[in-house]
Chain A
Amino acid sequence: MRRATGYPRGMPNVVAGRQVSPRKGKEDDMTDMRASDLPAEAGFGDYVALLKPRVMSLVVFTALVGLLSAPVAVHPMVALAGILFIALGAGASGALNMWWDADIDALMRRTRNRPVPAGRVAPREALAIGLALSGIAVVMLGLAANLLAAGLLAFTIFFYAVIYSMWLKRATPQNIVIGGAAGAFPPMIGWAVATGGVSVESLFMFALIFMWTPPHFWSLALFTKSDYADAGVPMLTVTHGRRVTRAHVLAYTLALAPLAVAGAVTGIGGPLYLAVSVALNLWFVAGAVRIWRRTEAQAEADGYRAEKRLFRFSLYYLFLHFAAILAEAALKPHGMGGW
């Protein structure tokens, strides 16, 4: 049940770090008021933070690769607008996620300073911004590019805000696995902006991010242990323990490696992609085996060094795979990219 304040369930009535009491009698309203007594007003940066700019940067990059690796030339202005509205849609889903998750964000160190739990942006405002930007992004992408791209963007927002945030995140330790699909759509949307369709290549880019997400997030969860437990989010480390999580990271990495390398034989792959992918996957599998072999005592002894290293490497892993796809596309006009 939502409170009158519009805060999601479990969310304390806190504005700018102060406990807000219910309205008292009229005489209280007549007392002097100072500006410092007013609820904190959000600055422009708070609204930007609401859109999760770091996630947005990954979305922009993968969507751009999807768009530029497509075998169809796109007018630069249409491409720019397409990427902009995909990014806006991603930001909108971020705002909806922050609105819904404000109660658990307030409990986790990593997220308690976000605009909604910190009281700088009211939950209703976050909801309104999320919904308005979703509408603008989808309609504008439909007008700028095509209906398929707009439909995929609408589904991505729905998937992230409703399927992942509202349902899976608090329901199952497999939340990351299924929820990872939301982050995997952007290159598919970029491809759809250019071609107006779906192909093996765009499905491959989707699968690459989809399979990469679990080992990426679970390696993060291995060294941010107290946060998810405090918030009651059923992260695999909380529900099944670290030993099982380490095994899951290895299993997903072993499944990811052949898929990632197989991308070399699709229309967006080539010798350069093959070389980069083989090197990255050997490294990733070696890192996953290393953390699988480690005991908790060993990990604690060196401050989760191997786990942190694998997490950092996973970021480079995805970036370099997409950079290789982009390089293959850039080399093609010069007769060098592809097979």
Chain B
Amino acid sequence: MAIRAEHELHRRRLGRNLGVGLTLLVFILVMFGLTVAKVSQLGKVDGFAHAPPGAVGR
């Protein structure tokens, strides 16, 4: 039979887990936003870097 009794301890653990989860989510969003900002500041990426020398512009 499943144990259904809920102690105050369980509520506190749930709150803690939710808090940590939310913090991690914010961290992921900040990292993502930062990556987008940094990459957009790099300027145009040379799309022909993989082409053999002299091939560009022919």
Contact = CB atoms under 8 A, between A and B. Distances in A.
A78 B15 CA distance: 30
Contacts of A77: 33-34, 36-37
Nearest to B5: A35
B9 A144 contact: no
B45 to A, nearest CB: 18
A47 B20 CA distance: 10
A84 B8 CA distance: 32
Contact of A47 (B13, B19, B30): B19
A44 B38 CA distance: 32
A35 to B, nearest CB: 5
Contacts of A143: 34
Interface in B13-58: 13, 15-16, 18-20, 30, 33-34, 36-38, 41
Nearest to A34: B7
Interface residues of B, number: 17
Given A43-B16, A44-B18, A75-B41, A80 B9 contact: no
A81 interface: yes
A41 interface: yes
B33 A44 contact: no
A44 B19 contact: yes
Contacts of B20: 44
B43 to A, nearest CB: 14
A78 B19 contact: no
B4 interface: no
A42 interface: yes
Nearest to A144: B34
Interface residues of A, number: 18
Contacts of B18: 44
Interface in A77-110: 77-78, 80-81, 84
A80 B33 contact: yes
A38 interface: yes
Residue of B13, B15, B37, B38 with most chain A CB atoms under a 10 A cut-off: B37
Nearest to A120: B12
B16 to A, nearest CB: 5
Interface string A11-54: 00000000000000000000000010010011111011000000
A47 B19 CA distance: 10
B30 A38 contact: no
Nearest to B12: A43
Nearest to B35: A77
A285 B18 CA distance: 48
Contact of A78 (B7, B8, B16, B37): B37
B37 A41 contact: no
B7 A41 contact: no
A143 B38 CA distance: 10
B38 to A, nearest CB: 8
A80 B34 CA distance: 9
B13 A41 contact: yes
A35 B33 contact: no
B12 to A, nearest CB: 5
Contacts of B8: 35
B34 A81 contact: yes
Contact of B15 (A38, A44, A76, A144): A44
A84 B30 contact: yes
A339 B53 CA distance: 55
| 8 nearest CB pairs, A to B | A44-B19, A77-B37, A77-B33, A43-B12, A44-B16, A35-B7, A75-B37, A81-B34
15 contacts: A35-B8, A35-B9, A38-B9, A41-B13, A42-B12, A42-B16, A43-B15, A43-B16, A75-B41, A76-B37, A77-B34, A80-B30, A81-B33, A143-B34, A144-B34
